């Protein structure tokens, strides 16, 4: 089924991200997470947001991180809700500094 296919993409992305059975390749992990995220997988959306937030396999982009955390949270991913809260708090603190 398509859900199993998406799960396989996410697992393969994790292997590249962490070097499980292969060399670490953050760019390849990012590509795989992006593919599965676009197809609607909430874990891939969460992982992709993490990559954007930290600049792993891509350029740091808090707007895109927020977008993908929100997509994941909208599907009920509890950790994504927490990350959205943390990002909004960081942004408020940054505004206070300015």
pLDDT for the residue numbered 17:
97
C-alpha of 84 from chain center: 12
pLDDT for the residue numbered 87:
85
Q: Which residues of the chain are under the pLDDT cut of 70? A: 1-2, 91-98
Alpha helices (H) in 1-98, listed in sequence order: 2-18, 26-38, 42-54, 62-74, 78-97
**Token pair for 72:** 């994941």
pTM comes to 0.87
Residues, the chain, total? 98
Domains of the chain: 2-97 (1.25.40.10)
């Amino acid at each position: 089924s398509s859900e199993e296919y998406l799960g396989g993409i996410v697992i393969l992305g994790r292997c590249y991200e962490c070097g499980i059975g292969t060399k670490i390749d953050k760019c390849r992990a990012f590509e795989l997470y992006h593919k599965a995220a676009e197809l609607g997988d909430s874990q891939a959306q969460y992982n992709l947001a993490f990559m954007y937030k930290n600049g792993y396999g891509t350029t740091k982009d808090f707007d895109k991180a927020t977008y993908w955390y929100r997509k994941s949270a909208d599907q009920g991913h509890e950790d994504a809700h927490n990350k959205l809260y943390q990002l909004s708090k960081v942004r408020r603190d940054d505004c206070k500094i300015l």
